[in-house]
Amino acid sequence: MSEPISIPNTLAAVQDHTRVFQDLIYVYPVISRRSRGLSIGINLNPDKRCNFDCVYCEVDRRTPGRAETVDLTQLRDELAWLIRYALEGGLATQPKFNEVPELTRLVRDIAFSGDGEPTMVPNFDECVRVAVEVKREFHLSDTKLVLISDSAGLDKGSVKRGLELMDANGGEFWCKLDAGTESYYKRVNRSYVKFERILANLLETGRARPIIIQTLFLKIDGTPMQADELAAYCGRLKDLVAGGAQIREVHAYTVARPTPEPWATKLTTAELETIASEVRRTTGLTVKTFD
């Protein structure tokens, strides 16, 4: 692939991460800075199910979700339609993309993301298979298959099979870790899943293939993550590496859109950079920031 161009976060197509495009249920196009261009999202949770309840979640759960299960035939049809539409220049004519029409003809990745946690679907491996087949059909050999996950379901059988399929087809794994301690995890992610399970899943998944840790840093009641929590977070990363997990890089980002909790707010660029520097210094890992 050619070298990535710089994509400012002020573009409407970057700001607008809505997961509804025309009347499609499962797929949607976004310009993603972390993907460095066009990402076709696959929303496996149009029902908005998630095993986390993050204080910064942008998914509007006040309105009901749409489909409750994934219809694989429809998923295949929608994905093929949207890819063809992008490649033939249709997306470039859409108002949402009028600042970046040149980015819409290259599908940089197909990402399992959406309005909930993708690994909660019972047939995750079958969904991956559909994406692999459509990617092949369009000869998108350079297009990555990305999983954006909260890390809670990475130990499930169908998920592990899906991860292996992704490994063989340009898989990339963005796994959430927002905390260093159980108490902070409970405060920010508000999940019933034990923190230990998240850490065990990261270790097991990272031992099998390189992973990217994605961490959202924020202010709670006006205060960024405290030094002791940040030290614990860095300690978790070091433990993962010491245990054999391959952490390719850490993506550190902050709140981009209004949060459901008014006390959960965005860091300044300088605050995010300070935290990222500390993580780099303490862990020796590559840390990229996205503010």
* Interface with ligand SF4 (CB under 6 A): 50, 52-54, 57, 59, 116-117, 150
CA 245 to chain centre: 19
At its nearest, how many Å lie between ligand SF4 and the CB of residue 191? 8
Which of 97, 124 has the CB closer to ligand SF4? 124
Which of 119, 289 has the CB closer to ligand SF4? 119
Cα distance between residue 48 and residue 61, in whole Å: 7
At its nearest, how many Å lie between ligand SF4 and the CB of residue 276? 20
At its nearest, how many Å lie between ligand SF4 and the CB of residue 221? 19
Which of 91, 162 has the CB closer to ligand SF4? 162
Amino acid at 201: N
The contacts of residue 192 (CB under 8 Å, 6+ apart) are 51
Distances (CA, A) of 218 to 229, 253, 273: 13, 8, 12
The contacts of residue 274 (CB under 8 Å, 6+ apart) are none
Cα distance between residue 263 and residue 188, in whole Å: 11
At its nearest, how many Å lie between ligand SF4 and the CB of residue 95? 27
* SS3 call for 210: coil
Angle separating helix axes 124-137 and 157-167, nearest 10 degrees: 20
Which of 18, 286 has the CB closer to ligand SF4? 18
Which of 26, 97 has the CB closer to ligand SF4? 26
At its nearest, how many Å lie between ligand SF4 and the CB of residue 17? 12
Buried b (16+ CB within 10 A) or exposed e, 185-199: beebbebebebeebb
At its nearest, how many Å lie between ligand SF4 and the CB of residue 101? 30
At its nearest, how many Å lie between ligand SF4 and the CB of residue 51? 7
Question: CB of 181 within 8 A of CB of 232?
Answer: yes
Strand bridging mode 107-113 / 264-265: unpaired
Which of 150, 172 has the CB closer to ligand SF4? 150
Q: 42 has which bridge partners? A: 27, 112
Which of 47, 97 has the CB closer to ligand SF4? 47
